[in-house]
Structure 1
């Protein structure tokens, strides 16, 4: 079962399912593969008949990532090519609520903390820094330095307050502690650029990385000498990895080889399913938090696909 939404002259970079509304996704997009031109943020609802646009905004620069607020169903944050973060509200039609520009290069990653008792945003930039913000984006609370390459991915731990992971072009996965503004762990995870990382929703010590070397690796932070499993099968760079919110050992990866793959990392033969219906690079990927095994992904030219895993 699949529903497709197309948006001409826009390339989808990221898609995130709403934590509050089961059939709602936000999609961050750019013109001209993000190299030049503007961006769009779209909020889409899946309906009986297909996909409906709830709200869309244009931005003067490409938008590379989007994250929903975990506290307010109307609010989301995006990261842009001009080094700024934008705060949006679906009840405000005209413009972002706030724009914060501190990064000196593209903001490629934004994430909203999920642990109870804190409400923070983290951003990762091509300027090699990560920044932590309060939800009003008034000014950054702290700037974390240590990566020697661009940061492609910054993801909060779903378990440990004030802790996030970052993946970089320098080939390392890093784990950071916001309170002490320190890097707690630097893992030389791949001998190539790492474009994505994600935390297991069921185990605070398990993190996955996806790399330009076509492999995804699953790491146990208590013993990082070698990965728990190496997931091989993609033929081009892996653009994004995401753990399932429903199944402890399930993760999905999407790649520039036009496929989305599903894995069970605890198995010796981890590949479960390959979805090959794309004629474009697949850039964005998210599991639906409300509907088991439903995955939404976005890619260049075609905006969002919803795919129900064959289980």
Structure 2
């Protein structure tokens, strides 16, 4: 008998691409280089994590416009604010946990209060690393949603990231983006009319049996689940909501009303506390819209360390777990 090849996994894998899935390498870094070619106001800044946020690509191309700030996230944010005051468009990068937990007050006082044009782009959002609570930013959206003037973006794939970079350059004001880095899956290329727009949700798939509203990597899971469910005769609508704040209230309310009497899921790579799910639940309540509302997200707890496929199954954000939850709601 031929022995099966053992697949190697790493707790630090930041790519969520399945084996054989088409990917794009470092879409953020390359998109920023492209944007900077026609805009000399763009600068890159990082807190010793340029290589792990794909900003090193920009640094290699534009060394005179790249600033390595060392392991000092508070300094990074304050320096970014200073660059914005001088008319530059700083893209500052670190990990989501360090921006949200360690540098919150500096972002609030130095950047958000003054509505400065700083773009905070952070890797390892939610459960995209197996290193455990020190690196898993499972509550970053909850932390930042309450900050005035801050736009929050949660792209789902390489196409979303590429398009969002130019959108951030064109947008005047502070932005926090949850970055998928490394080899990022291509998901939205099958939807010819898709275009990322700040503040806009987009229907990707139409189906009458259930509705999934999703952001980030969970849009990939929702699309995969919809494809699998379709083979079993279940038609699911998938609405991608890449901007968490400001929320596209008009589109979301219209989609939920179209699915009156059907299960409505909100899927996110974030704690069920304080993220997209609770934001939409609040929207529905304020507008007196009734729905069979369910959340698909991470539990309100510190998560384990381990390999990502195992953790995604354990915490309910794998494609198969999404399929199970939809099927259970229709049983």
Q: TM-score, normalised by structure 2?
A: 0.28
The two structures have a TM-score, normalised by structure 1, of 0.29
More helix by share: 2
